[in-house]
Chain A
Amino acid sequence: MQVPATFEYERADSVPHALELLEHYGPEARVVAGGHSLIPMMKLRLAQPEALIDINGLADELGGIAVEGDELAIGAMVRHTELLESATATDLFPIFRDAERVIADPIVRNRGTVGGSLCQGDPSEDLSAVFAALRATAVIQGPGGTRTVPVREFHQGPYETAVEPNELLIQLRVPVAPGTGSAYEKVERRVGDWPVAAAGAVLRIEGGTIVQAGIGLTAVGAAHFCAPEAEAYLDGRVPDAEAFAQAGRIAAEHCEPHADQRGPADYKRHLAAELTRRALARAAGRI
């Protein structure tokens, strides 16, 4: 029987209240949203927070998916199921549908949240690669107000993010531009598992050439979940099979996969190249 160590439990009834509680309990407190990463870690005693601040009561305040100007705003408390079923989000960016369909299983997706997934900072997490490919911005609220951080600077290492102990991730903002296609490709050992490797691609094409490419990679040791060298290679090129294959090779060269129970490093590097190529081709086909 797996039981977490003891902790204080508090329920936040507003964002300012959550921030007050974080201030009160200090850096040994953790925010819990869906809890599907944190609670298992607590059961294994890999995490032993002194206090849990439950923000499930803020599902409305920190919820919602809406286009605001030229950005898509996604609340941190949006649950995976909601993102998967949001026509607003998945029509604009099919990459969300591709990725969400292969994140855990439907019951876990009922509970897990978008913000929680990013804040967990797991190096194999899917949405981190998706938002990196989309060049999204994270909105973080603290005692002094809100600040924004590009998702590509959000992850500072395994399980480390830009969110300070007295701050809360409240929203993700994704730039919306015409002529954009997106896709996500993942290899998993069994349905609902963490990826062996996965790649996301976002392409904006104007007049037959690529004007901006976004490539997100997860589980392969890509710094900040992205592949800037491969993106730079694609800029200004004609979107064809050869360019996508070369971008895949460049992305694979610059990542640092580690061997583990999901596979050896060279296999993961091979997947990084191949999945990047496939995601780019699929993204281009969706414009």
Chain B
Amino acid sequence: MRITVSVNGQSYTRDVEPRLLLVHFLRDELDLTGTHWGCDTSNCGVCTVRLDGVPVKSCTVLAVMADGHEVTTVEGLERDGELDAVQKGFVECHGLQCGFCTPGMLLTARALLDRHPDPDESQIREAISGQLCRCTGYENIVRSIRWAATSDVAESATEAK
């Protein structure tokens, strides 16, 4: 089946089997291996991407379901060579250890901050509760997202001036 999916603003057309999962479409067809593939059972959340802006677990979405829709992966966070605030936050606050859960965490963090620019710790913990960090480094992940929220607020204040 021929599908056209917009990924990080670029349109891709491919012939795929209907049973192909979105995670494998991204990794194997488009070579976008930033999206990781973990438990395969929609539990661990490392395969999280944004589908029309909404975080979804791409191991449980068929690629054909994304036909005509917009997907954002971790590769799409950086803009013009500038890392997104959530990426900077993970750098600043040591938000990644082995890095396996990081892409999914970053996308969920961005989606959270788009809706709630100033989340408290409990909102952050709730937002990432569908994702597992196998290093159990949650403290630093939460700190990194808070750093990004503060940075976003500072940036929009500068823009407003």
Q: Which residues of A contact B108 (CB under 8 A)?
A: 107
Contact A107 B19, beta carbon cutoff 8 Å: no
Q: Is residue B130 contacting chain A, with contact meaning CB distance below 8 A?
A: yes
Q: Which residues of B contact A54 (CB under 8 A)?
A: 64-65
Q: Which residues of B contact A192 (CB under 8 A)?
A: 129-130
* Residue from the set A1, A4, A110 with the largest chain B CB neighbour count within 10 Å: A110
Q: Is residue A35 contacting chain B, with contact meaning CB distance below 8 A?
A: yes
Contact A43 to B55, CB < 8 A, known contacts A3-B19, A111-B60: no
Interface residues of B in 66-88 (CB under 8 A from A): 67
Q: Is residue B17 contacting chain A, with contact meaning CB distance below 8 A?
A: yes
Could you tell me the distance between the alpha carbons of A39 and B67 in the complex, rounded to whole angstroms?
Answer: 17
Instruction: Tell me, rounded to whole Å, the shortest Cβ–Cβ distance linking B44 to chain A.
Output: 10
Q: Is residue A267 contacting chain B, with contact meaning CB distance below 8 A?
A: no
Could you tell me the distance between the alpha carbons of A106 and B60 in the complex, rounded to whole angstroms?
Answer: 14
Contact A4 to B19, CB < 8 A, known contacts A9-B1, A39-B62, A54-B65: yes
Contact B130 A36, beta carbon cutoff 8 Å: no
Interface residues of A in 64-122 (CB under 8 A from B): 104-108, 110-111
Q: Is residue B31 contacting chain A, with contact meaning CB distance below 8 A?
A: no
Instruction: Tell me, rounded to whole Å, the shortest Cβ–Cβ distance linking A60 to chain B.
Output: 13
Point out the residue from B21, B42, B127 that lies within 8 Å of A108, measured CB to CB: B42
Chain A 1-28, CB within 8 Å of chain B: the 1/0 string?
A: 1111111110100000000000000000
Which size class do A's interface residues fall under?
A: 20 to 34
Contact A105 B18, beta carbon cutoff 8 Å: no
Q: Is residue B61 contacting chain A, with contact meaning CB distance below 8 A?
A: yes
Contact A5 B60, beta carbon cutoff 8 Å: no
Contact B60 A36, beta carbon cutoff 8 Å: yes
Instruction: Tell me, rounded to whole Å, the shortest Cβ–Cβ distance linking B111 to chain A.
Output: 9
Q: Which residues of B contact A8 (CB under 8 A)?
A: 18
Q: Is residue A265 contacting chain B, with contact meaning CB distance below 8 A?
A: no
Could you tell me the distance between the alpha carbons of A3 and B61 in the complex, rounded to whole angstroms?
Answer: 12
Contact A107 to B57, CB < 8 A, known contacts A6-B17, A192-B129: yes
Contact A107 B40, beta carbon cutoff 8 Å: no
Contact A105 to B19, CB < 8 A, known contacts A9-B64, A40-B60: no
Could you tell me the distance between the alpha carbons of A39 and B61 in the complex, rounded to whole angstroms?
Answer: 8
Contact B54 A110, beta carbon cutoff 8 Å: yes
Contact A107 to B62, CB < 8 A, known contacts A36-B42, A43-B40, A52-B18: no
Q: Is residue A191 contacting chain B, with contact meaning CB distance below 8 A?
A: yes
Instruction: Tell me, rounded to whole Å, the shortest Cβ–Cβ distance linking A285 to chain B.
Output: 23
Q: Is residue A141 contacting chain B, with contact meaning CB distance below 8 A?
A: no
Q: Which residues of A contact B54 (CB under 8 A)?
A: 110-111
Q: Which residues of A contact B129 (CB under 8 A)?
A: 105-106, 191-192
Could you tell me the distance between the alpha carbons of A107 and B57 in the complex, rounded to whole angstroms?
Answer: 7
Contact B62 A35, beta carbon cutoff 8 Å: yes
Chain A 31-50, CB within 8 Å of chain B: the 1/0 string?
A: 00001100110110000000
Q: Is residue A171 contacting chain B, with contact meaning CB distance below 8 A?
A: no
Contact A107 to B130, CB < 8 A, known contacts A4-B19, A39-B60, A52-B18: yes
Task: Determine the residue in chain A with the shortest Cβ distance to B43.
Answer: A192
Q: Is residue A56 contacting chain B, with contact meaning CB distance below 8 A?
A: yes
Could you tell me the distance between the alpha carbons of A269 and B43 in the complex, rounded to whole angstroms?
Answer: 28
Q: Is residue B96 contacting chain A, with contact meaning CB distance below 8 A?
A: no
Could you tell me the distance between the alpha carbons of A261 and B54 in the complex, rounded to whole angstroms?
Answer: 33
Instruction: Tell me, rounded to whole Å, the shortest Cβ–Cβ distance linking B51 to chain A.
Output: 8
Contact B41 A111, beta carbon cutoff 8 Å: no
Task: Determine the residue in chain B with the shortest Cβ distance to A81.
Answer: B54
Chain A 153-181, CB within 8 Å of chain B: the 1/0 string?
A: 00000000000000000000000000000
Could you tell me the distance between the alpha carbons of A105 and B29 in the complex, rounded to whole angstroms?
Answer: 29
Contact B41 A40, beta carbon cutoff 8 Å: yes
Could you tell me the distance between the alpha carbons of A7 and B62 in the complex, rounded to whole angstroms?
Answer: 12
Contact A6 to B131, CB < 8 A, known contacts A36-B42, A56-B65: no
Contact B45 A9, beta carbon cutoff 8 Å: no
Q: Is residue B106 contacting chain A, with contact meaning CB distance below 8 A?
A: no
Besides A11-B67, A108-B130, 15 other A-B contacts (C-beta < 8 A): A2-B40, A3-B19, A7-B18, A39-B61, A40-B60, A42-B19, A105-B129, A106-B127, A106-B130, A107-B55, A107-B56, A107-B108, A108-B60, A110-B55, A191-B129
